[in-house]
Amino acid sequence: MGKLYNFKRSLWVFHASGGSCNACDIEIVAALTPRYDVERFGIKLVGSPRHADVLLVTGAIPRDFADKLRRIYEQMPDPKAVVVIGNCGTSGGVFYDSYNIAGPIDEIIPVDVYVPGCPPRPEAIIDGVVKAWLKIEKLEKQLEGKKE
């Protein structure tokens, strides 16, 4: 049996799709369905980066979207985490070395968790989000320590 975690609060997630085949996007939606039901763990998809704790990024990032992705990242409140879903965001995937790709996402914004796969299964996506959640809670503890 895996380790059980007790989190202080719910985790709100914003999804940004850079331009992929949408297979990773479909797997993210699958994680929200009743079969996996991530909302029972407190993971909720939100419509604004200003409310999000975690940024899920899918797809290879085209040059014209790189600035928009930076802006989305900057709009998120601290502490925050970035999870890259799928091979396209990690290395470019089938779009590797394409003329219009800005590069891997970690060259555009800082990345905390990589979820490899083409597409990754919902279980892997949930595991990646939990790892980001642990990172955020660790950062919050550090911030609390500095305030005292």
For residue range 12-38, list pLDDT tens digits in order: 899 998 877 888 888 888 988 889 888
d(CA 145, CA 127): 27
**Is residue 73 situated within a structural domain?**
yes
For residue range 51-67, list pLDDT tens digits in order: 998 999 998 888 899 99
**Is residue 2 situated within a structural domain?**
no
Contacts of 52 (CB under 8 A, 6+ apart): 12, 13, 14, 46, 76, 80
Q: Number of structural domains, the chain?
A: 1
Tell me which amino acid residue 24 is.
C
**Is residue 25 situated within a structural domain?**
yes
Answer whether 15's CB lies under 8 Å from 129's CB: no
For residue range 80-112, list pLDDT tens digits in order: 899 999 888 888 777 788 888 887 888 899 999
Q: Which domain holds residue 67?
A: 11-145
**Is residue 1 situated within a structural domain?**
no
Q: Of 55-69, 87-101, 116-130, 133-147, give the lowest mean pLDDT range.
A: 133-147
**Residue 59 φ/ψ region, left for φ over 0, alpha for ψ in the -120 to 50 degree band, beta for the rest:** left
